[in-house]
Structure 1
Amino acid sequence: MANLSYEIGRISGILEGFAGINNKTNHGFTFEIELLDPKIATEESVTNYLTKFYPDSTLSFTPISEWRTVLSSYIEKWLFCYQPHNDAHGNVIAGECGSYYSYLKDVDRSFSLFIPDSRRQFIDDLCDALNRCLVITRAIDVHLVTDAWYEGDWNDIALEGENARVFIHLGVSD
């Protein structure tokens, strides 16, 4: 792909922007995408990348058969932490990654990403952009275990494609 660096940079900017929206006074979100070394196996490349920061860590990898479904669920979980989570009766409940009391309110019901169909379209568009960029052939859940502080909660995924390989980190620390 001729514009690979541009497209990865654009996606990185989206992730960084959403991390900023989700940041709270006592929680910092980290959403990032990193290009991996294409000359070695994806698992080895992820290991090399993460052990630079966490040298005493242990990594394990789980293949993902439906990358779009898993990545969509991670995007839904993480990028939209700033929104309240509701139960079947419309009552606000504690979210996956946020506080019961700490969310933005769409008081006029005028923000498109608060609408489930618009949010789903955004997620689909982001997955489509990643697939156009990478031409995804394989996905791997990445599990890091370390005694050092990594994040309070997170999801890591590696995507392997015909054009490139990337590591995506979505997490929060307090």
Structure 2
Amino acid sequence: MYRFAYRLAGQQQDAEDLVQDVVVKLYPRLDELEAVDRLRPWLNRVLYRQFIDQVRRKGRQGDRPLSELVAPDSHADWLDSLESDNAGPEIQLEQARLRPALDRVLATLAPDQRALLLLHDVDGWRQEDIAAVLDIPLGTVKSRLHRCRAGLRKKLQRELEPIPRGGRVGE
């Protein structure tokens, strides 16, 4: 629960508070928890709903750059998928340019879109589990994931290439 809360909240203290709120809310209902078949997705769904409630209460203040979601010393570990073992200087330069742009673009996404991308593409959750946690149909998860990736791709292209191909600076 904590790892999921940390991915949603973005800071250790907020994640701890989120998990604590859920545990305090569920503690009086322990007998009901024993009847739940798949406890992990159910708890994560409760945690997600609690997070959404907090975000709605706070407004848009919960948005943070992605760079704050990951400890500075673990940046390389977090984006391993972008690096190869034998990355040359050109690849390293491109990745150094890509990371901050990716952080900025992900920070512009709505919290539910960011949560979906982080759950699936970063944490490696199955789409079926995400559907159970978010309490939405599997087809909706697939279509939202597709739209989020397409939007992320377009925003990232604009971020990295501010001048359109074949265009002039004055256009």
TM-score (normalizing by structure 2): 0.27
Highest RCO, 1 vs 2 (Cα 8 Å, sep ≥ 6): 1
**More helix by proportion, 1 or 2?**
2
| Alignment TM-score, normalising by the size of structure 1 | 0.27
